[in-house]
Structure 1
């Protein structure tokens, strides 16, 4: 039996030029696998804590040498000799070693990088693709689907230096017959949007996640621009393609109100839900993420009661991939879907638990990247291996985003439509 013989960490850079943790796990059979931790911009307050050095003389205080040292000096000693296929054991050993509720002692960035590298090493040792190993860990061996992509083509909020309040405007090709065709649709709309913006005299610089980031008159203006791009690309909005929003409402929630400074409007909790409902009446929006502040559970209840039977309502900052918080949402009828970001919780095992809980409750599942990404493509395998249904991994430019799409293309070609059907509109909740 091949076991873990070495665990080593390095400080590397993410897509925003900030340090992050990279880990290599080496097995006695000679296998070496690596993984890197992503980092968020708009983060939930209850997320697991990524450990930063706070040394202002290095990387503006964002260095991760402490997290790297925790891997090299503490986690390594705990995991050496362990069978890499014992994922739950590895993750629980790190959780116990950390001892905190939010992984703040060792750092979620340290723990997650090790957790993912262990899974990758196990898949290589077994001689199977990572998505296959993940499906085994998930208790659903051999059950795969290709996810419906949620493609962010226009950025605002914390992801762009512009006057648009809503953080992400996305397209979803619900009627494409395959993932490859869905991706083609998104690419064609993305390039059409660039032409629309240029013809309107607007900026075509991109934000953190690769979507365009122009100054616009309003959030509705953004939707109008995308609608025009969909038509110019030769698709029918509402039939071939639907729209999705990530409001990231916690970023503009102040003293009990939602301040849309870009268009000079201020809303109560119910008022903001009603505003979003009006946008849904004007445009074929089928998914809204974080349409209320993470702490505004009363607002979320109204939000769900008003919109939850019509469209997908996704909890990101609300649920932070945490089963305790998700269970509270399920019990209280809050939202109907969860965004899954494994660095919010810090281990692969806990991520799989959250996915399982959501599915059992009938909640939709969207596997997601972070704004600070790397070339690591694990989330693509996670989406296929858990048959999640949807994936959110940014726009159609920037190699840190495109890497995930390219990995999904390779997986689809490898498995074929019979073994991994494309979810399309079936990925939605409700």
Structure 2
């Protein structure tokens, strides 16, 4: 039996926020089956692909009946008979069928679920784990995890201006050890906040949901948590921030509610650079808004030789925007979210563009997630070097971390932890 697509089915499932989402199921003529579930973001850039939601009062307007119907009425007939092994052709057909630059007609949630389901079906047909199917015989690294300890911004009722306070362990030696160290830090952070009083639950992605008096208070607490865990801050464990500055303002200025109010673009860049000098920070995501190229470039020029500057909302997993950022001297790493652009092929193109520039690449989850573990396989099979999933709690996050443990174990002695090699060369050199 062949690897041609026999059927494509869509269905409504539920994500980690209790909102409807789309699952696609693809069955090949060989009987191989692939399934994938679309994630959803809370902090979204204006340039990214758009989910199709039903609106109205049901499910708070987040229903996906239209997106699911589109899979059955339009996508299934268009893809039936196509070879699932030709992912580029399948994704091109999806883009042509939608006919919009941002997947608005059929919905990025429908398109991305189908695109990933086709990929899973092709791997099942080949009788290979998805990561191995993607690697196609090439050597891969086990990605360095980036794990949230405190959640803020749009993910936690804006208790802090900064969206994510995370940790990275580039010298851990293995993925398993990186998770063990992170567990130490996570528990230590919880104990510190319990003793101090600002502990108020967990955020969308499972990190502690604290009530800090300032952004620096959060940075101080995280640094103390690293040390209290028995590990060395700035050696064994580093801080990674997702500023999500797009949520704080625009090119005309930013508002830091916990600090001193309104900042100009230049002042915002200076504030980020100051934090990088004062704290053991190794990575900063979106220090400026999605169209504030000058501030992104300023931060990159000031500290990009020792700190990873990641583009998320500014790049939106778009290869053309990666090239534009590189020409502007903005960023030295790209966040890769498949649903942000809509198809596997387009996401891989953005990753390839970043790697070709000598940048780091981070395959990332969204704040609205599920038990789907596709991104663990993408990060490994594409040899991205880094994986960002969220925190070290909640099953939709742990499903992906646990899948990485299985992948690492399956490689045995051949498992190669990316560590410092995950970063652009100048940064990697500082970690040697």
TM-score of the two chains, using structure 2 as the length reference: 0.96
Residue ranges of structure 2 left out of the alignment (5+ in a row):
428-432
Task: State the distance in 1 between where 2:221 and 2:353 align.
Answer: 38
Alpha-carbon RMSD across the aligned residues, in angstroms, is: 1.2
Task: State the distance in 2 between where 1:117 and 1:407 align.
Answer: 17
2:72 maps to: 72
Task: Note the alpha carbon deviations across 1:36-94, whole angstroms, 9 max, x for none.
Answer: 000001101000111111122x1111101111011011100011112211111111111
Matches within 5 A, 1:278-427: 278-418=274-414, 420-427=415-422
Kindly state the Cα deviation for residue 204 of structure 1 after the two structures are TM-superposed. Answer: 4.3
Kindly state the Cα deviation for residue 29 of structure 1 after the two structures are TM-superposed. Answer: 2.1
Does 1:242 pair with 2:246? no
1:144 maps to: 140
Task: Note the alpha carbon deviations across 1:375-416, whole angstroms, 9 max, x for none.
Answer: 100000001101111111010100001110000000000012
Kindly state the Cα deviation for residue 254 of structure 1 after the two structures are TM-superposed. Answer: 5.1
Matches within 5 A, 1:69-108: 69-108=69-108
> Are the counterparts in 1 of residues 359 and 423 from structure 2 also a CA contact under 8 Å?
no
> Are the counterparts in 2 of residues 163 and 261 from structure 1 also a CA contact under 8 Å?
no
Kindly state the Cα deviation for residue 126 of structure 1 after the two structures are TM-superposed. Answer: 0.3
> Are the counterparts in 2 of residues 198 and 204 from structure 1 also a CA contact under 8 Å?
no
3-state secondary structure, aligned to 2:371: coil
2:430 maps to: none
Task: State the distance in 2 between where 1:162 and 1:352 align.
Answer: 32
Between 78-87 and 37-46, report the one with greater CA deviation. 78-87
Matches within 5 A, 1:270-285: 270-285=266-281
Task: Note the alpha carbon deviations across 1:89-140, whole angstroms, 9 max, x for none.
Answer: 111111111111111111111111001000001101101110012223xxxx
Does 1:169 pair with 2:165? yes
> Are the counterparts in 2 of residues 367 and 388 from structure 1 also a CA contact under 8 Å?
yes
3-state secondary structure, aligned to 2:254: strand
> Are the counterparts in 1 of residues 250 and 292 from structure 2 also a CA contact under 8 Å?
no
1:37 maps to: 38
Matches within 5 A, 1:178-327: 178-253=174-249, 256-327=252-323
Q: CA separation of 1:147/1:20 partners in 2, compared to 1, >3 Å: closer, same or farther?
A: same
Task: State the distance in 2 between where 1:162 and 1:272 align.
Answer: 18
Task: State the distance in 2 between where 1:345 and 1:132 align.
Answer: 23
> Are the counterparts in 2 of residues 10 and 22 from structure 1 also a CA contact under 8 Å?
yes
3-state secondary structure, aligned to 1:421: coil
Task: State the distance in 1 between where 2:299 and 2:249 align.
Answer: 15
Kindly state the Cα deviation for residue 278 of structure 1 after the two structures are TM-superposed. Answer: 1.5
3-state secondary structure, aligned to 2:225: helix
Task: Note the alpha carbon deviations across 1:221-247, whole angstroms, 9 max, x for none.
Answer: 111111121112110001101101000
2:62 maps to: 62
Kindly state the Cα deviation for residue 417 of structure 1 after the two structures are TM-superposed. Answer: 4.2
Task: State the distance in 2 between where 1:426 and 1:88 align.
Answer: 29
3-state secondary structure, aligned to 1:393: strand
TM-score of the two chains, using structure 1 as the length reference: 0.96
3-state secondary structure, aligned to 2:209: coil
3-state secondary structure, aligned to 1:44: coil
Task: Note the alpha carbon deviations across 1:157-207, whole angstroms, 9 max, x for none.
Answer: 101025310000000012101000001111111111111111112224000
Residue ranges of structure 1 left out of the alignment (5+ in a row):
none
Task: State the distance in 2 between where 1:163 and 1:413 align.
Answer: 38
Task: State the distance in 2 between where 1:375 and 1:286 align.
Answer: 29
> Are the counterparts in 1 of residues 251 and 292 from structure 2 also a CA contact under 8 Å?
no
Task: State the distance in 2 between where 1:133 and 1:289 align.
Answer: 30
Between 219-228 and 300-309, report the one with greater CA deviation. 300-309
Task: State the distance in 1 between where 2:246 and 2:158 align.
Answer: 18
Task: State the distance in 1 between where 2:321 and 2:199 align.
Answer: 40
